[in-house]
């Protein structure tokens, strides 16, 4: 995390934010959230949890029903010029002006955000995102991954202080992911705050300093990544047996193994982050019991399952 975070005003400060859509759907419920300057913050939640709505209220796409949002200490409604000039948004959908060229569309965004023309800056962004060779290509001719790069380039064109990435790696190949994370790390090094939404735990794990979990329009928790990952590190081991087992032997039961109905599958829950998972001991115990293994698989609890767990812990 950046050293500035303890001394400067928060990048984003949200208090008692509510959003109810015209149809009556409650998308955000009493959100209180503070995002520190210079950090990478991951907003984690299943589809429909309210991630995009929350970003929309901060960026100006969605009108809050009640509550207050401050960006860099300025109100997003009354002082929108200052707050929006600070923000760059990479939307989830690949929306581009089909007949524009790459360079023209990036330069357009810079002007739109109130910055004078700066060809050198645009060139640097396009090169960082491996778009320079495509600068004169029309957007309609680009692949999905390339369009995603263009959207990132547009969001960075006006040198924002805060960058929002809404589901940045949806449908993105490995190379772009790597380029994107490099760009994000470079940005963080220059003091830019990055907020990304995702429903992949791995993504939050790879990049974020802190993680906020949102579900059904509520922020369930906000925690340092390392702490959260410890909580989310549970995995299930599944062992398929060649022959049916009438009952679970005591030695295996004591290790925490469970026999599923039908007698063909043993399950075991363990902490993948801990030094001793207990798997090696189980394997030798199985062998001592003379049980022959047909197949082994591990499964990380789905985010939904984890959310349910988190909700249960909270109540």
Non-local CB neighbours of 230 within 8 Å, separated by 6+ positions: 271, 273
Per rule CB under 8 A, is residue 171 in the interface with another protein? Answer: no
Kindly calculate the radius of gyration of the chain based on its CA atoms and give it in whole angstroms. 24
Per rule CB under 8 A, is residue 93 in the interface with another protein? Answer: yes
* Helical (H) or strand (E) element with 105: helix 102-112
Nearest distance from C-beta of residue 256 to another protein, angstroms: 49
89 CB burial (10 A radius; 0-12, 13-18, 19+): buried
Nearest distance from C-beta of residue 68 to another protein, angstroms: 17
Write each residue from 238 to 277 as x if it is in contact with another protein (CB under 8 A), else as -, in one continuous string: ----------------------------------------
Non-local CB neighbours of 213 within 8 Å, separated by 6+ positions: 44, 45, 219, 220, 221, 222, 228, 307, 310
Nearest distance from C-beta of residue 71 to another protein, angstroms: 11
Per rule CB under 8 A, is residue 122 in the interface with another protein? Answer: no
Minimum CB distance to another protein smaller for 114 or for 256: 114
Q: Which of 32, 75, 97, 224 binds another protein (CB under 8 A)?
A: 97
Beta strands in the chain (DSSP E): 12-20, 26-35, 40-44, 66-71, 74-75, 87-90, 162-166, 193-198, 210-215, 218-224, 234-241, 258-259, 265-271, 293-300
Beta strands in 157-305 (DSSP E): 162-166, 193-198, 210-215, 218-224, 234-241, 258-259, 265-271, 293-300
Nearest distance from C-beta of residue 119 to another protein, angstroms: 15
Which span sits near another protein by CB under 8 A: 39-47, 110-118, 191-199, 273-281? Answer: 110-118
Per rule CB under 8 A, is residue 80 in the interface with another protein? Answer: yes
Which span sits near another protein by CB under 8 A: 102-110, 170-178, 203-211, 267-275? Answer: 102-110
Per rule CB under 8 A, is residue 84 in the interface with another protein? Answer: yes
Residue 170 structure tokens: 């949806």
Q: Which of 11, 14, 102, 113 binds another protein (CB under 8 A)?
A: 113
3-class SS at 193?
A: strand
Q: Which of 51, 154, 161, 210 binds another protein (CB under 8 A)?
A: 154
Which stretches of the chain bind another protein, using CB under 8 A?
21-22, 56, 59-63, 80-85, 87, 89, 91, 93, 95-100, 104, 108-116, 154
């Amino acid at each position: 995390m950046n050293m500035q975070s303890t001394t400067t005003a928060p990048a984003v400060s949200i208090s008692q934010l509510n959003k109810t859509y015209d149809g009556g759907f409650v998308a955000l419920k009493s959100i209180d959230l503070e995002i520190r300057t210079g950090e990478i913050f991951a907003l984690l939640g299943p589809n429909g949890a309210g991630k995009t709505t929350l970003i929309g209220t901060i960026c100006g796409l969605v009108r809050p029903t009640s509550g207050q949002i401050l960006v860099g200490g300025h109100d997003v409604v009354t002082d929108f010029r200052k707050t929006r000039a600070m923000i760059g948004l990479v939307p989830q959908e690949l929306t581009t002006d089909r007949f524009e060229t790459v360079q023209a569309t990036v330069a357009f965004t810079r002007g739109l955000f109130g910055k004078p023309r700066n060809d050198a800056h645009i060139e640097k962004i396009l090169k960082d995102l491996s778009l320079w060779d495509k600068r004169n290509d029309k957007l309609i001719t680009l692949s999905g991954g390339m369009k995603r790069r263009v959207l990132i380039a547009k969001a960075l064109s006006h040198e924002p202080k805060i960058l929002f990435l809404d589901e940045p790696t949806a449908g993105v190949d490995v190379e772009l992911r790597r380029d994107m994370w490099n760009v994000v790390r470079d940005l963080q090094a220059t003091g830019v705050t990055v907020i990304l939404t995702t429903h992949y735990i791995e993504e939050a794990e790879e990049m974020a300093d802190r993680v906020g979990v949102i579900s059904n329009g509520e922020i369930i928790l906000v925690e340092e990544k390392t702490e959260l990952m410890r909580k989310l590190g549970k995995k299930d081991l599944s062992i398929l047996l060649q022959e049916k087992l009438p009952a679970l032997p005591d030695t295996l039961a004591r290790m925490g193994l469970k026999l599923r109905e039908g007698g063909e599958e043993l399950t075991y829950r363990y902490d993948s982050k801990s030094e001793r998972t207990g798997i090696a001991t189980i394997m030798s115990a199985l062998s001592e019991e003379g049980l022959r293994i047909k197949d082994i698989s591990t499964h990380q609890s789905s985010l939904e399952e984890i959310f349910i767990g988190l909700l249960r812990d909270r109540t």
